Amino acid sequence: MEYFFLKIKSTSPWFPMIPMLMALGIRTVAQVPVSVVLTPGMVIEHSVTVKPGTYRVPSASLDAPAIVVRGADITIDLTGVTIEGLDPFLDPDRAAGNGILIDGGSNVTIKGGAVRGFKVGIRAKKTPKLHITGADVSYNWKPRLWSGIEKESLLDWMSYHQNENDEWLRYGAGIYLTDCDNCEIDNSRGVQGSNGLLMTRVSHTKVWNNTFSWNSALGLGMYRASDNTIMHNRFDWDVRGYSHGFYNRGQDSSAILIYEQSNNNYFAYNSATHGGDGLFLWAGQTTMDTGQGGVNDNTFVLNDFSHAVANGIEATFSRNRFISNRVDDCWHGVWGGYSYDTVFHGNSFVGNTDGIAIEHGQNIDISGNTFKNNETAIRLWANATQDPSWGYAKARDTRSRNYQIYGNTFDSNKLDISTLRTDAVDVNHEKVLPIAMMPPPLPNGINAIMSADARQGRSTIIVDEWGPYDYKSPKLWPVGKPFDRPLKLRVLGPEGKWTLKSIRGGTASAKSGVIPAWTLTTAGGEITVTPTGMGTDLEIVLEYVGAEVVSPRGQRAAAGQPYLFSYTLLDPATHWSVRAWALDEASDPVTQPAAYEAKLKAPPTKTFAPARLDYVSGGVMIDGLPRDRFALIADGNVALPSGDYWLDIISDDGIKVWLDGKLVVDKWSVHESVLDQVKLTGGKHRISVQYFEQTGWAELQVRFRRD
């Protein structure tokens, strides 16, 4: 197409016709940015001001973005604009596509605006000097989580190992940058999604004064991203895979993830608390296979990595510097396996299981730190054996050796220093190695570090089926296990009053109460519920009046406006009858089907009648059966109230399911945890499950859920 370029003054009679001229392919260079109304699939190639308002602009896929931006030296002003891809009342796992795609060009500025309800809010490719400022990319895609209060599901574990071809896009993001250098992301916000900001092959970029918190996977993720500056950001409560008092593995969620040859980055004055990890720094698969490279020469100064459910800092197979950070109240303050030439200086390690835990580390400086109230302050060791075929161990010396432990303060730890198979450990309580002076904060940099009296601690972390709870709306949450009887529920949220509006399937201990102001000693109110009848079909609805409410999906209720919230639990009485058999290689269900069928005709190894099929384990899954190689057949009858339901089935390994005699699930293979879903209506149903476990982790969960 032949283009015409016009320069039109704002006083010209042609100026109001600029949008029409643009639609006809006539490019304009205006002295005042053009005012436009967004339409689906719109391509913007010039500076524009978008007319304020809410635009429902769906995107079917990442390859069909709602809005495309191309060009150089342009500004898109989205002040007062909301771009929606999904009705905000719908479940966020239904979000799809890309809100804004910045496709090439350079020196593009995206100013203000909210982009929500997409798999990826703002995506940029090969756009140097990109500036995103004041954007809100909250409430984009996130998956339903299947881990509960008492038991986790393997289905929720993530893998960030490969991203050469933007595989990370499958996890969604508020902002996703690929091959963008010399950029700036500032004063932006991305909460209540899966990931906040993801950067792939990005360099010399400044990320500052942002909030990427309350996401169910990552606050910030970096892959082959080097020479960047990350300062004054909030990456708090980016977490999954945690149930306080039950399990704390984090499922590879993290406030900050730095992966695969991301070097020479500088992090300062960031808050990265209450994550799966505070910082997850891993050299990547290339290093694992060859022993070369790493995630090296990154510097972390004056950050807060506290209250991580797994590791405050996980920094492995690499060399880096950690100076004057806070790393308190974690499982491991530092997990530093195979790290080398690394400095830990002037950090705080208080109330961890292990302050610093390093296996097979080399040439490590641990100096001037404070270790207080840890189970073990410093634990250093080497394993007795390593896999002889492992590329890293074949290419490198992996002995545990050469530690300088100088001038640290040890206070009230159960054990100060533990070493095993470790050589050349030099301990000197007086000597401290000199470290350069601390850098100043950025001009206009926010104070991202939370105050001492702010809500904090791992006990405040609540992860429900949609991710971390942010305390901005009232919530009912079990004090113990969901199947405890009577059932005690905490009433959490902003300060205010609640009244009981309705209850189905049970009785409540009170009809009204308060949610007190949060303090270090007061977590919230409490109500006791006693389910009635066979099984559990409970719904309790409360009305809240108090402070402003922001729901987990972004809807707002003004202070004093009534707000309804609820708790539901469906656990219908299902009369399961289970027969189980120990197997061997000769009766393998996949490779030896005839021998397997013959095995099922023999007397079972075990018979039992559980209340529900709800198992996950890396060891023995069911008492009386072997850890690996067993099969079971479970037959059940259930009566559901009228309505529409989902039968959710999670399996690792093989499974077949029959509903009322019809085969509805057939995954008879060795596989990691997968989800199958079957629709059913109320009434009586017969369910038959045939399952086998081969090796490794095992999972079998059968659940009922209202549609």
Q: Walk me through the domains of the chain, giving residue ranges and CATH numbers.
A: 203-453 (2.160.20.10), 471-569 (2.60.40), 577-706 (2.60.120.260)
- How many residues comprise the chain? 707
> Can you list the residues of the chain whose pLDDT is less than 50?
1-12, 14-15, 27-32
The partner residues of 379 in beta bridges, in order of sequence, read: 357, 418
- CA pair distance 253, 194, nearest whole angstrom: 10
What per-residue string of b and e applies to 38-70 under the rule 16 or more CB within 10 Å gives b? beeebebbbbbbbeeeebebbbeebeebbbbbb
- CA pair distance 149, 129, nearest whole angstrom: 45
Residue type, 23: A
Give the count of beta carbons closer than 10 Å to the beta carbon of residue 81: 19
In terms of DSSP bridges, do strands 229-231 and 206-208 run parallel, antiparallel, or are they unpaired? parallel
Q: What is the pLDDT of residue 522?
A: 67
Which two structure tokens, joined as six digits, stand for 688? 């038959």
Which two structure tokens, joined as six digits, stand for 122? 């703002």
Q: HSE of 301 in the Cβ direction (CA atoms, 13 Å)?
A: 16
Q: How far is CA 636 from the centre of its chain?
A: 35
- CA pair distance 102, 124, nearest whole angstrom: 4
Q: Which residues are within 8 A (CB) of 529 and not within 5 positions of it... i.e. 6 or more apart?
A: 486, 487, 488, 489, 503, 506, 507, 508, 509, 538, 540
Q: What is the pLDDT of residue 19?
A: 55
Residue with tokens 């961890």: 352
The DSSP string of 265-334 is: -EEES-B--SSSEEEEEE--HHHHHHS---S-SEEEES-B--S-SSEEEEEESS-EEEES-B--SSSEEE
Q: Which residues are within 8 A (CB) of 436 and not within 5 positions of it... i.e. 6 or more apart?
A: none
CB 172 within 8 A of CB 190: no
Which two structure tokens, joined as six digits, stand for 679? 């629709």
Q: What is the pLDDT of residue 28?
A: 44
Q: What is the pLDDT of residue 150?
A: 85
DSSP 155: G
Helices then strands, each counted (H, E), the chain: 4, 59
- CA pair distance 79, 56, nearest whole angstrom: 16
226 φ, ψ (degrees, to nearest 5) = -130, 160
Which two structure tokens, joined as six digits, stand for 660? 């009322």
In terms of DSSP bridges, do strands 247-248 and 242-243 run parallel, antiparallel, or are they unpaired? antiparallel
Q: HSE of 112 in the Cβ direction (CA atoms, 13 Å)?
A: 14
Q: What is the pLDDT of residue 365?
A: 96
End-to-end CA distance of the chain: 51
CB 23 within 8 A of CB 36: no
Cα Rg for the chain, rounded, in angstroms? 28
Give the count of beta carbons closer than 10 Å to the beta carbon of residue 108: 27
Which two structure tokens, joined as six digits, stand for 126? 């090969």
CB 230 within 8 A of CB 185: no
Going from the C-alpha of 692 to that of each of 5, 629, 656, the distances in angstroms are 68, 7, 9
Q: HSE of 440 in the Cβ direction (CA atoms, 13 Å)?
A: 3
Q: What is the pLDDT of residue 518?
A: 82
Q: What is the pLDDT of residue 523?
A: 66
> 71 in helix, strand or coil?
coil
Q: What angle do CA 574, 577, 578 make, to 5 degrees?
A: 125
Q: What is the pLDDT of residue 520?
A: 66
> 17 in helix, strand or coil?
helix
Q: What is the pLDDT of residue 22?
A: 52
Going from the C-alpha of 452 to that of each of 233, 306, 586, the distances in angstroms are 18, 12, 61
DSSP 19: H
Alpha-carbon dihedral 677, 679, 684, 688, rounded to 10 degrees = -30
- CA pair distance 28, 47, nearest whole angstrom: 10
Beta-sheet strands, E only, within 549-591: 549-550, 556-557, 563-571, 577-582
